[in-house]
Structure 1
């Protein structure tokens, strides 16, 4: 059975939503290549037309191009944050369960220290150190997210390490990579996939949140949260412009949350 065939109806719905958003973001870049930062002040708040199907903002910039650019930034950040935090969290969780002792205690202390700090506050602190830095936002979100993988993986791996099946394989001389792939990873993969989907949504929301307080990416970068802040003062003149980035932010988070459901 293929991977798509294993998905539930809820997960397929989320995959379709995310696929459509990704198609929009990629198609705009390769088929249209519109400069979303080019200003046409005489066309400020212009209604949608064939050149700008989603209208123009307060500087006359093409919203079609800017929204596509915002989606590309959101997908890129969510991907790199999820990959980094998942790899780090899974490796640390398995190592802590396998080795135990002082190694497990040190990792637990580090994870609990991070958990003691509100995640969004920690991200805001990192983002404020170098405002406008994509790398700092990525590092901060990854630092917050890896703890969830670590705690979950460690709890599951502890049971698997002590299982008779794994102990038998160890006595037969199989290497640790085989033991992980044969006994531990099958017990982890469904939960890690769900955490990855939730983590991707969290990454997008976190980047938008730091954009709300102007310590995230800087103008004229087309980041969804920053676009909402910039367009909010003009919601009386052009309410549809404010609704566009809000709708995309809602859809991308909804898509990831639906994708996090249980497979059949």
Structure 2
């Protein structure tokens, strides 16, 4: 989860560059596959047909079948939806409290900020995946602890970025002038603070989603995350790995989908370079 930590030391780039457009286009395609694929693909991702075990690409199975004869196209579509959904919800659950607490800490300061800093330090003292594993120990293989653990890990980055940037903005002379002219906190927040932190939060959100996708896949791959027969991309790779010699493309398909999801999010954070 070091990607999120590295990002907070840089400012969001402005401009809509070629890389950002490419990332947006890639995510639109993958999002369409994830959202609409399960609606138009008639195959059930859990339906087994042992007679079609490791069926090649083409024929009755457009992208082949796994070792249980389950449609890889259907499983990839449901896996992409699961990864997208969990990543987006995790990002929201981390961003909303992180941003609100960061704004409150920068605005109020005092004991509230000291308490929040202590909580953030405690969370950062634990390796991100360790915190997720601790929660998964109470209910292994379920969505809830996995979602909660990732959110608890990622909110700190939103909090610290928001607090540091907001404090810098509030220290500017024009903010003091606005206060002296009688403009309220809401006006200052909407017109001066949010336009500055907005692009940074958007960039951090993309990094957070990419981190969540990688974390979910990694935990499922080591059998402590979502468990089979749930069509999760990381667990699909592990399930098919023993058959790599017979069907290497089948193993690579979920790995390529993870790569494309993360690549699209990473490209989306790029902008025009000066």
The separation in 1 between residues aligned to 2:90 and 2:178, in whole angstroms, is 34
CA contact (8 A) 1:211 1:226 kept: yes
Q: What number of residue pairs does the alignment pair up?
A: 260
- Partner of residue 202, structure 2: 193
CA contact (8 A) 1:28 1:34 kept: no
Give SS of 1:194's match. helix
Deviation string, structure 1 residues 67-95 (Cα, Å, up to 9, x no partner): 00000001101111111211111111111
Pick from 25, 41, 44 the counterpart of residue 16 of structure 1. Answer: 25
Deviation string, structure 1 residues 139-192 (Cα, Å, up to 9, x no partner): 111111111111111111111122222222223333322221111111101111
Deviation string, structure 1 residues 98-157 (Cα, Å, up to 9, x no partner): 111111111111111111111111112222321121121111111111111111111111
1:79-98 aligned within 5 A: 79-98=88-107
Give SS of 1:129's match. coil
CA contact (8 A) 2:94 2:158 kept: yes
The separation in 2 between residues aligned to 1:227 and 1:32, in whole angstroms, is 18
Deviation string, structure 1 residues 194-251 (Cα, Å, up to 9, x no partner): 1001000000001011102211112110000111111111111111110000100111
The separation in 2 between residues aligned to 1:244 and 1:85, in whole angstroms, is 30
- Indicate yes or no: 2:120 matched with 1:111: yes
* TM-score computed with the length of structure 1 as normaliser: 0.94
The separation in 2 between residues aligned to 1:54 and 1:143, in whole angstroms, is 37
* TM-score computed with the length of structure 2 as normaliser: 0.91
Gaps of at least 5 residues in structure 1 are none
The separation in 2 between residues aligned to 1:125 and 1:193, in whole angstroms, is 29
Two-structure CA RMSD over aligned residues (Å): 1.5
1:12-51 aligned within 5 A: 12-51=21-60
The separation in 1 between residues aligned to 2:70 and 2:186, in whole angstroms, is 53
